Amino acid sequence: MGLKRLTVNLRIAVIQLNPQIGQLEETVVRARSLVRRVERYRPDIVVFPEFALSGYSFHSRPEISAHLCRPQEGPAWELCRQISQGLSCITVMGYPERGDDQQAYNSALVVDEEGKLAFNYRKSFLYDTDEEWQCAENPAGFQTFELPLKGKARDRSGDVHDVKLRSAIGICMDLSPYKFEAPFHECEFSTFQLEHGTELLIVPMAWLHSSSVTRDTADPASQKAEIANSMDRLGLPLHGSQNQFQVDVELRDGTCVKECPDDGILPSAPSDAGAASSYSDLSRPDNSNLNYWIMRFMPFLACKWRENWFAEKALKPMLAKFKGSRFTYLGSSLKVPWLFENKNALLVLCNRCGAEDGATVYAGSSGIFKFNGQHGDEETILDTTNRSVELLGNLGKGHEGVIVRDVSFEIERDL
């Protein structure tokens, strides 16, 4: 018995949808169609967005009430169970939950290969829209769970092992500062996951594009008009692209499938155009949001400043203010400059696309990332160019679609 380094090999499918409220059956049909496009590749994990089937922009409890379901009831549960049983895979999907306490939650199901509930996570940090329908915060806060995987790990001798990955679900706003009020550098979600040794992070989202109308929009009517103009230029209805699937498959055996819809658009708007005009090039990811998402995982990113903090004993006063609730600051502890050094973690971000209400525009750009725990004393830029994060692939900002990747990462186990 002793600590061994194992290589975990997984095939992950991420499905990007544009669900609309009141169009459940149509959304399920498109979801099934995308699963059929990749079922031949036998993914180990299939991930769907936040509120993947119901649509997201509910503005009152009466409006969402008919969509609330208990964890093992309703359309999300049935579809996840069918996908998991049909492909012998793990399926993750966001849905609106009716709790036993009559509270309503923004939740995500994790369904195992046999179609059984493996975990149910409730969103901890709520966005403005969640609060409009009186969504409750997760009373347990951020969580981790063990995800059993059969025969997916190998040691250096080539022997195959079953493993339980230390896993976590986060939902959209969980990545951001609490209520947008907490200090940016506290990185609550990623710090929690770093300190708990999480190896697989799965994040369903309904994350906004910069052109979206929000509570902070100075002139909502003008912005809505710009959104309508953007969709018109793209030749799309006001709710955005549906049924024009982007398919992106790269596998270890050399399989490569790239299907990209013709956007049918005029050249991109000039740089001095309004923010809504930037909603173009739908087959390309939203790099601004990609950089933000990665920055929110600062504790997992290489950063050479940590060596100075450690050498100068600057961490003790920084950590003191947390009164024992955490033992790291941006990945540094009192014992080591970077707690994540020489470790690996996999991040799966699954966002929705399209638009709702003629006002809410989503950023798509779902993707798969690997934190490699390297270059800790070299990097200063905390975005997607940081060499400690490997971008394994992304969908574009505006089309429904699916991306499939073979991924390898290392874990340690006492065997």
Give the pLDDT confidence score for residue 334 in this predicted structure. Answer: 94
Confidence of residue 312 (pLDDT cuts 50, 70, 90): confident
Which residues on adjacent β-strands are paired with residue 160? Answer: 154
409 in a structural domain: yes
Q: Which two tokens stand for residue 105?
A: 């939650």
Question: Regarding predicted confidence, which is higher, 316 or 177?
Answer: 177
What residues make up the domain containing 198? Answer: 3-301+343-367+388-414
In a domain, 144, yes or no: yes
Q: Which residue has the tokens 């709520």?
A: 126
Calculate the alpha carbon distances from 402 to 37, 208, 380 in Å: 8, 19, 33
What mean pLDDT is reported for the chain? Answer: 95
Residue with tokens 């199901």: 109
* Domains of the chain: total: 1
Query: Which of 387, 391, 369 lies closest to 378 in space, CA to CA?
Result: 387
Measured distance CA(301)–CA(383) in Å, rounded:
9
pTM: 0.95
Residues 6+ apart with CB under 8 A from 301: 294, 295, 331, 371, 379, 382, 386, 388, 389
Say which range, 112-126, 314-328, 398-412, has the weakest mean pLDDT. 314-328
Predicted pLDDT of residue 117: 99
For residue 307, being part of any structural domain is answered with: no
pLDDT in tens, 264-282: 443 443 333 444 447 999 9
Residue 326 falls within a domain, yes or no? no
Predicted local distance difference test score (pLDDT) of residue 1 = 63
Distance CA 136, CA 123 (A): 8
In this predicted structure, the answer to whether residue 412 has a pLDDT above a threshold of 90 is yes
Sign of CA dihedral 112, 167, 143, 184: negative
Residue 44 covered by a domain: yes
Residue 266 is predicted with a pLDDT of: 37
pLDDT digits (tens, 9 = 90+) for 76-107: 999 999 999 999 999 999 999 999 888 999 99
pLDDT at 146: 98
pLDDT in tens, 176-234: 999 999 999 999 999 999 999 999 999 999 999 999 999 999 999 999 999 999 999 99
Does a structural domain hold residue 220? yes
- Cα separation, 236 vs 280, in Å, equals 11
Q: Which residues are catalytic?
A: 50, 123, 172
- Residue 16's alpha-carbon distances to 186, 194, 207, 215, 380, in angstroms, are 29, 27, 12, 26, 32
Within 13 Å of residue 54, how many CA atoms lie on the same side as its CB?
A: 25
Place of tokens 């939203």: 286
Phi, psi of 131, rounded to the nearest 5 degrees: -70, -25
Q: What is the CATH number of the domain that holds 281?
A: 3.60.110.10
Closest Cα to residue 126, out of 113, 109, 139, 112? 139
Domain assignment present for 376:
no
Residue 374 covered by a domain: no
Sorting pLDDT into bands at 50, 70 and 90, what band is 262?
low
Element containing residue 319 per DSSP (H, E): helix 315-320
Nearest to 395 by CA among 357, 368, 362, 358: 368
CB of 207 closer than 8 Å to CB of 288: no
pLDDT, tens digit, for every residue of 100-140?
888 999 999 999 999 999 999 999 999 999 999 999 999 99
The mean per-residue pLDDT over the stretch 160-171 comes to 98
Characterize 336-345 residue by residue with b for buried, 16 or more Cβ atoms within 10 angstroms of its Cβ, and e for exposed.
Answer: ebbbbbebbb
